[in-house]
Chains A and B, each alone.
Chain A
Amino acid sequence: MTRTDSRSPAARSSSPSSHSLWWFGLPAGVLLLLWGAPLLALLLRGAAPSVFAYLQDPMVQHALRLSLLTSGATAALAVLCGTPLAYALARWDFPGRRAVEALIDLTLVLPPAVAGIALLMAFGRRGLFGPTLGIVGISLPFTVAAVVMAQLFVAAPFFVRAARLAFESIGPQMEEAAAILGASPWQQFRFIMLPAARRGLLAGLALCWTRALSEFGATILFAGNMPGRTQTMPLAIYLGLERNLDVALALSVILLGVSAILLFALRRFEREPMLA
């Protein structure tokens, strides 16, 4: 997932000896069991034909469509705004750089519930910017825009981090060579850096998109829960649990499937030869 350079596959060489299998395999197995067993249990109990019935449910369709739409918008905005930010952090020294890095680190580790309350304090109707936005007739809480903002807050740092590592892993020689050959800074970025960092960028995009898809805490606090308007899949799952477990199980299986498809699609794209 966080493979950001093209060397790592070659670094994986020999198969492990039986000795190291114990020392490395056993602790690693604990984690794999922790991740694998619940997902398996979820599928065993939830993957029933009823999943297809729930897919026909208008509420589920609304939630799924809203989730794909908002997480797609989040991913697009993260790439659009995050790529220049990551490039700047990887290449240039500028005043306040450390503060920007700290800000990104902070948003990465912040609990989403804190993000949700912080967003309310800033953009809520009585928040820091709420009254100003109100003059222009904009009220953000309980809207689709609020869902995207919550996702962007929580998920975009994943893209920026991966993109920055990707740009940093490219030596400056390539750009220097291009500069000597007369390439403008834009051409260096477009034709040297972007293609070379492509894998890392796509890996970051996959992380960011799927993280946005699973966003819950910031969304329910900042955007509320309104079926058809702000109720994304994770919210529908949480509230589905209150109606009956079967609904929550079916929706969980659906979201798991969508996340898996998205992840595999982006990984596949990541491996394809460069197009640029």
Chain B
Amino acid sequence: MRRTNLIVLLVVAGAAALLAGCATAQAPTQVAPLSPTTAVPTAAPLPTVEGTPSLAPGDLSVFAASSLTDAFGEIGKAFEQAHPGTTVTFNFAGSQTLRTQIQEGAAADVFASANTTEMKALVDSGNVPTAGAHNFAGNRLVVITAPGNSAGINDLEDLASPGAKIVLAAEEVPVGKYARQALQNLNAEFGPTFADQVLANVVSMEDNVRQVVAKVTLGEADAGIVYTTDAAADPTLGTIAIEDPYNVLATYPLAVLEAAPRADLAQAFVDLVLSPDGQAILAKYGFLPPAS
């Protein structure tokens, strides 16, 4: 690149930085922390865990469903405190993506899924030992509406009104499948074509639950169906509850993987998630206890 070009580039970048500075100065909105572990204002110190200190420190790789981003971020921090020198690395994505990555040989120690289907697939393919999975949390669905709700979506029936822009997760994603189930259940309330009418309003099928939240938060879509835990993470979103008989209870299992490079640390992490301390963190983020 020529020198003058470089200078122009620097000027443009500088101006952009300046503009960004002004923008944040004008709008006193809180800046979202990059690290999910700091997302919830916790005055109380992180629960300390009586881990087995005999474990050699190392790197623990946890593959977890997108909806667990905030809660697991905090559990990871607690784990690192209990095991000094150990680093927990998370790979958050749609459970179905993680399942494929694990089957294709990704080096992971722990897998936490947002449904039992992906876990069962890994048991079937030999990546998870039989009876190695434990249900550790439950979740419910909720409808979120864009900040300001200019489309006027005030009850569940409005999801079917012509012109409403709805985003769902793709059918392959656990939350996408749960959402379609809930819509089918709602046919009993709003008539046999309700689910089809809502599906006709869908403008995008996102890859994971956090992308659904993002599209609605941006206001690009009017409404979406996500987990209650994701809705709670962003107070600017409006929510419409789905009544219990129609709602779907998502079950989250986790397991130490057969090929875990650090099976000992992985087991300790699973134990932490299942412990009262781990369950308390999950409850703080709105997760329900597992079905049984």
- How many residues on chain A are close to B (CB under 8 Å)? 26
> What separation, in Å, do the CA atoms of A147 and B100 have in the docked complex?
27
> What separation, in Å, do the CA atoms of A234 and B82 have in the docked complex?
43
A174-205 interface bits toward B, Cβ cutoff 8 Å, 1 = contact, 0 = none: 00000000000000000000000000000000
4 tightest CB-CB pairs across the interface, nearest first?
A224-B204, A142-B203, A102-B8, A126-B219
Nearest chain A residue, comparing its CB with the CB of B173: A242
Given known A142-B165, A242-B173, contact A99–B207 (CB-CB < 8 A): no
User: By the criterion CB–CB under 8 Å, are A105 and B94 in contact?
Assistant: no
Give the secondary structure class of B's interface.
mixed
Chain A positions near chain B (C-beta within 8 angstroms)? 98-99, 101-103, 105-106, 120, 124-126, 141-142, 220, 224-227, 230, 238-239, 241-245
B194-217 interface bits toward A, Cβ cutoff 8 Å, 1 = contact, 0 = none: 000000001111110000000100
User: By the criterion CB–CB under 8 Å, are B205 and A226 in contact?
Assistant: yes
Q: Which B residues from 86 to 136 make CB contacts under 8 A with A?
A: 94, 96-97, 100, 103-104
Chain A positions within 8 Å of B221 at CB level: 142
> What separation, in Å, do the CA atoms of A120 and B207 have in the docked complex?
18
Chain B positions within 8 Å of A141 at CB level: 203, 220
Give the secondary structure class of A's interface.
helix
Chain B positions within 8 Å of A241 at CB level: 97, 100
Q: How far is the CB of B16 from chain A (nearest CB, A)?
A: 10
> What separation, in Å, do the CA atoms of A125 and B96 have in the docked complex?
31
Given known A105-B5, A242-B97, A242-B170, contact A142–B219 (CB-CB < 8 A): no
Chain B positions within 8 Å of A98 at CB level: 4-5, 8
Q: How far is the CB of A64 from chain B (nearest CB, A)?
A: 18
> What separation, in Å, do the CA atoms of A98 and B203 have in the docked complex?
40
B169-213 interface bits toward A, Cβ cutoff 8 Å, 1 = contact, 0 = none: 010110000000000000000000000000000111111000000
- The verdict on B22 contacting chain A, using a C-beta distance below 8 Å, is no
> What separation, in Å, do the CA atoms of A30 and B173 have in the docked complex?
38
Contact partner of B207 (CB less than 8 A), chosen from A125, A230, A238, A244, is: A238
Given known A102-B12, A242-B94, contact A125–B219 (CB-CB < 8 A): yes
Chain B positions near chain A (C-beta within 8 angstroms)? 1, 4-5, 8-9, 12, 94, 96-97, 100, 103-104, 165, 167, 170, 172-173, 202-207, 215, 218-221
User: By the criterion CB–CB under 8 Å, are B170 and A225 in contact?
Assistant: yes
Chain A positions within 8 Å of B218 at CB level: 120, 124, 126
> What separation, in Å, do the CA atoms of A238 and B221 have in the docked complex?
22
Contact partner of B8 (CB less than 8 A), chosen from A99, A126, A230, A244, is: A99
> What separation, in Å, do the CA atoms of A84 and B291 have in the docked complex?
65
Q: How far is the CB of B222 from chain A (nearest CB, A)?
A: 9
User: By the criterion CB–CB under 8 Å, are B219 and A124 in contact?
Assistant: yes
> What separation, in Å, do the CA atoms of A126 and B165 have in the docked complex?
14
User: By the criterion CB–CB under 8 Å, are B205 and A225 in contact?
Assistant: yes
Given contacts A105-B1, A142-B165, A245-B103, 17 further A-B pairs with CB under 8 A are A98-B8, A99-B12, A101-B5, A101-B8, A102-B12, A124-B218, A224-B203, A225-B204, A225-B205, A225-B206, A225-B207, A238-B207, A239-B205, A241-B97, A242-B97, A243-B172, A245-B100
> What separation, in Å, do the CA atoms of A224 and B214 have in the docked complex?
11
User: By the criterion CB–CB under 8 Å, are B12 and A242 in contact?
Assistant: no
> What separation, in Å, do the CA atoms of A141 and B104 have in the docked complex?
34
Contact partner of B206 (CB less than 8 A), chosen from A99, A224, A244, is: A224
Contact partner of A102 (CB less than 8 A), chosen from B5, B172, B206, is: B5
Q: How far is the CB of B23 from chain A (nearest CB, A)?
A: 11
> What separation, in Å, do the CA atoms of A225 and B100 have in the docked complex?
20
Chain B positions within 8 Å of A244 at CB level: 100
Given known A98-B8, A101-B5, A120-B218, contact A242–B204 (CB-CB < 8 A): no
> What separation, in Å, do the CA atoms of A105 and B9 have in the docked complex?
9
Chain A positions within 8 Å of B5 at CB level: 98, 101-102, 105
> What separation, in Å, do the CA atoms of A242 and B205 have in the docked complex?
13
Q: How far is the CB of B126 from chain A (nearest CB, A)?
A: 16
Nearest chain B residue, comparing its CB with the CB of A224: B204
Q: How far is the CB of A13 from chain B (nearest CB, A)?
A: 31
Contact partner of B167 (CB less than 8 A), chosen from A101, A125, A224, is: A224
> What separation, in Å, do the CA atoms of A220 and B4 have in the docked complex?
35
Nearest chain B residue, comparing its CB with the CB of A117: B218
> What separation, in Å, do the CA atoms of A102 and B8 have in the docked complex?
7
> What separation, in Å, do the CA atoms of A76 and B12 have in the docked complex?
30
User: By the criterion CB–CB under 8 Å, are B9 and A242 in contact?
Assistant: no
User: By the criterion CB–CB under 8 Å, are A242 and B220 in contact?
Assistant: no
Contact partner of A230 (CB less than 8 A), chosen from B94, B103, B170, B204, is: B204
> What separation, in Å, do the CA atoms of A224 and B206 have in the docked complex?
7
Nearest chain A residue, comparing its CB with the CB of B167: A224
Chain A positions within 8 Å of B220 at CB level: 120, 124-126, 141-142, 224
